[in-house]
Structure 1
Amino acid sequence: MTRNSIPAFATAVFLLATGPAFAQKTYLHCGKLLDVRSGKLLSQQTIVVEKDRIVAIQSGYTAAGGAQDKIINLENRTVLPGLIDCHVHLESESSRNQFREQFTLNPADIAYRAQGYALTTLRAGFTTVRDCGGSGVNTSLRNAVAQGLVPGPRIYSAGMAISATGGHMDETDGLNLEQIEHAGHPVNLANGPDQCRQAVREQFKRGADLIKIASTGGVLDLSKDGTGAQYSEEEIQAIVQTAKDLGLPVACHAHGAEGIKRAVRAGVTSIDHGSLMDDEAIKLMAKTKTWYVPTLIAGKSVADTTRTHPGYFPPVIAAKALNVGTKMQGTFARAYKAGVRVAFGTDAGVYRHGQNAKEFGYMTEAGMPPLEAIRAATLNAAQLIGEPADLGALEAGKYADIVAVEGDPLQDIAVLTRPKFVMKAGVTYRQE
């Protein structure tokens, strides 16, 4: 499928998914079913779906009980829970034009593209995502998906990510003084505890499901350093406490060790990227049980692109991509071995949407067993986003988020990059 065909395909899938009424029950005959809790592959199982929920899992292939019931034959497939990516950016996708497009795209342009990226993500087997920062279109897309207006994964939106002035999410970095003055003071920029509290409340008012901050610099911005700390511990504490008061978790973008340690001590829910953790930071994260969302594919992608496509990134970004991106997998190996809790996340948008499952390969290359990598994208991810009762496993009462692949992912994790069947909340979006 070409990218240009996505809007037409999205319309067709959406009409098929929403037009007819739900069958009374749907019976999925599964050749193998992965119980992510026990780690066992169960043979010849039937998942019974009613509306948007799993109502039973039965041994053997159960016959349909009523005239309106439907049977889906997955007898030659391995079936597992819908996958969860805890760090995506559905509004954008890396390209040579990425920085120019900040000045040329309107919110409507971003929204149309985001809809296509969302469908691509869903068809790749990721039925739930945590969008970790955009313009606010991400929150509108969340609403449109939830209301059944467009197809896409279930979205937990951070709205606009909060940054210090000159920090990773300060979009005026690199502009001339006239443009900076014209931009005024963006609502996502906050300095000092009082402004940090206000910024959290602003995103809450705009409908965010979580708060995203940056405690260090980043790679894909025009600042010269992606590793230095950019928030004091007092500022992060103000963010965390305010978010807690409002019932919101806090995801923290962080590369450098000092910014990681400040954020962990301040009580953030997750450290995303964590590229340059030192031993002290790893021990602290393990002790506090702070979640780690590693996004290895993002590091691999920016480093590889810098090497193979000279001029793709501005020089300041290219230098950071090689310095930071090449170290992320080694950091992950050390952190996992030390017992840091891992939830799956990829930073989709930094690379092409739909390739999210490549992250599994990088995780297993670094020493994580395939079952643990799958748990990171199911049980662990569901816990991180606060939905363990509804997501993360194939069990009665949970949403009917179901993926099927050809082969055994416990033996060949790469099969997860080629899903043959995808169901979200009882609606089929892919069947081959």
Structure 2
Amino acid sequence: MRKVLAAIAASLPACTAIAQTTYVQAGKLVDVEAGRVLAGQCITIDGERIKAVGKCGKPPRGATIVDWRRYTVLPGLIDLHTHLADVGQGADIAEPINTGPAETGFIGAKNARDTLMAGFTTVRDVGTFRVFADVKLRDAIAKGLIPGPRMFVAGTYITIPGGGGEINGLPPGTVPPEMRFGVVTTPAEAAAKAEALFAGGADFLKLIATGAVLAIGTEPGQPELTEEQMRAAVAVASAHGSYATAHAHGAEGIKAAIRAGVRSIEHASLIDDEGLAMAKAAGVWLVMDVFNGDYIEDVGTKEGWPAEYLRKNRETTDIQREGFSKAVKLGVKIGFGTDSGVYPHGINARQFGYMVKYGMTPIQAIQSATVEAARVLGRDGDVGAIAPGRFADIIAVAGDPSRDVGTLKDVRGVMKAGKTVK
């Protein structure tokens, strides 16, 4: 008994430790839940989470003061479509296999830091060629080994042979098995690979429903995974308390993915009116990367990216933006996602201006990257708003982003889980 009591006593200091209190003084605060901007607000943080938000008063005794009274503060931003754990897009289609795991890991660490410093404190990483590289990056960040956003990861792509989730255009046998982990041909295989991905640490599934712009030999409008294959994977995700998202450019692939039960559609470049109506009725989010078409055209042309990439980008960019405008007018749910990795990580916020140009108000664009994105993740009790109980993920910008979303391209302060990192 004495040994037991001694052990309990020894453990008490750790169990009863008082969380560090931080008091953030804001010039203005964007209340993304109400869609308004408030003045004179202060945020009390205990440890990693927000305790209270309200009119400024006397700071709690012993609290660390963060003086952001010159700035507008808002929740840490969320990008639902990133590729942190891989090499960036370029002219060399063999670069992913010619870059070894260690070097790719260092690249991922830099990408993660650049993303966090840009004010994106949470991301959904929607696929890497080398299976589970994203899991390792996520875990390294969570352990505090490297700085980066909170990550939710897919493990790799579930795709058909030679599909939009493959490295194509190389001699047979060139691509190693670890980069073809998610290749399937039947619903049973889709279910088995989905189980294997969750067993390896994936948080959700990424299904390649159509061809891709940036994949040799595939066409964006062409369906790839069948509805039955996607439905089998979705059932596995549901059994694990998770969900699937679908890469889908073409109209028929989009509709098949919605019928199969995915939570969100990535790109949605060629979505038609029926697909928009289906997405709205089913409560499916569209995550449309309406910025990077211009980046691909500009930089891809200068750097000599494959002509096939450039042709497909030109065929989808304008029509995607038209579909985005229709989706906004119809009230379809939209989450913020940029396809970072196609462009350099850290300039994610350039997309906000495009979202406003093509139909959103500044507040709607901000909400797409905060409260709406948190709902897509199923983590709206943890992230996406400055509110009691949420993680203290907070950023500071000069000016008022509810009037000019361009201010989000220059983040002056970043706090993640109560720790100021910038």
TM-score (norm 1): 0.90
| SS of structure 2 residue aligned to 1:296 | coil
Q: Structure 1 unaligned segments of length 5 or more: list them.
A: 1-20
CA 1:397/1:98 → structure 2, altered by over 3 Å: closer, same or farther? farther
Q: 1:179 aligns with which of 168, 174, 181?
A: 174
Q: 1:397 aligns with which of 389, 404, 411?
A: 389
CA 1:95/1:170 → structure 2, altered by over 3 Å: closer, same or farther? closer
| SS of structure 2 residue aligned to 1:87 | strand
Cα distance in 1, alignment partners of residues 189 and 104 from structure 2? 28
| SS of structure 2 residue aligned to 1:102 | helix
Cα distance in 2, alignment partners of residues 161 and 224 from structure 1? 15
Q: 2:36 aligns with which of 30, 40, 48?
A: 40
Question: Match of 1:270?
Answer: 264
The one-letter code matched in structure 2 to 1:220 is L
Cα distance in 1, alignment partners of residues 249 and 329 from structure 2? 19
Cα distance in 2, alignment partners of residues 375 and 410 from structure 1? 10
Cα distance in 1, alignment partners of residues 376 and 214 from structure 2? 25
Cα distance in 2, alignment partners of residues 344 and 130 from structure 1? 10
Cα distance in 1, alignment partners of residues 87 and 179 from structure 2? 26
Cα distance in 2, alignment partners of residues 413 and 334 from structure 1? 21
Question: Match of 2:152?
Answer: 156
Question: Match of 2:7?
Answer: none
Question: Is 2:163–2:218's contact at 8 Å kept on the other side of the alignment?
Answer: no
Question: Match of 1:123?
Answer: 117
Please tell me whether residue 139 in structure 1 is matched to residue 131 in structure 2: no
Question: Is 2:123–2:152's contact at 8 Å kept on the other side of the alignment?
Answer: yes
Cα distance in 2, alignment partners of residues 95 and 177 from structure 1? 22
The one-letter code matched in structure 2 to 1:250 is A
Q: 1:356 aligns with which of 345, 348, 361?
A: 348
- Bigger drift between 221-230 and 260-269 goes to 221-230
1:178 deviates by: 4.9
| SS of structure 1 residue aligned to 2:294 | helix
1:322 deviates by: 1.2
1:312 deviates by: 2.1
Cα distance in 2, alignment partners of residues 202 and 140 from structure 1? 16
Equivalent pairs, count = 404
Question: Match of 1:331?
Answer: 323
1:30 deviates by: 0.5
Cα distance in 2, alignment partners of residues 260 and 144 from structure 1? 34
Question: Is 1:87–1:347's contact at 8 Å kept on the other side of the alignment?
Answer: yes
| SS of structure 1 residue aligned to 2:245 | strand
- Aligned positions of 1:183-202 closer than 5 A: 186-202=180-196
| SS of structure 1 residue aligned to 2:355 | helix
Cα distance in 1, alignment partners of residues 173 and 43 from structure 2? 61
1:34 deviates by: 1.0
Cα distance in 2, alignment partners of residues 393 and 163 from structure 1? 35
1:224 deviates by: 4.3
Question: Match of 1:227?
Answer: 221
Question: Match of 2:206?
Answer: 212
Cα distance in 1, alignment partners of residues 58 and 76 from structure 2? 22
Please tell me whether residue 417 in structure 1 is matched to residue 409 in structure 2: yes
| SS of structure 2 residue aligned to 1:327 | helix
Cα distance in 1, alignment partners of residues 18 and 109 from structure 2? 24
Q: 1:165 aligns with which of 161, 164, 172?
A: 161
Aligned-CA RMSD value: 1.8
| SS of structure 2 residue aligned to 1:420 | strand
Q: 1:104 aligns with which of 90, 98, 103?
A: 98
The one-letter code matched in structure 2 to 1:179 is T
Question: Match of 2:67?
Answer: 73
Question: Match of 2:8?
Answer: none
Please tell me whether residue 54 in structure 1 is matched to residue 50 in structure 2: yes
Question: Is 1:23–1:70's contact at 8 Å kept on the other side of the alignment?
Answer: no
Cα distance in 2, alignment partners of residues 145 and 76 from structure 1? 30
| SS of structure 2 residue aligned to 1:99 | coil
Q: Deviations over 1:131-178 (max 9, x none)?
A: 00012211101011111111100000101111011111122x212235
The one-letter code matched in structure 2 to 1:406 is A
Question: Is 1:82–1:127's contact at 8 Å kept on the other side of the alignment?
Answer: yes
Which 4+ runs in 1 deviate beyond 4 A? 182-185
TM-score (norm 2): 0.92
Question: Is 2:73–2:395's contact at 8 Å kept on the other side of the alignment?
Answer: yes
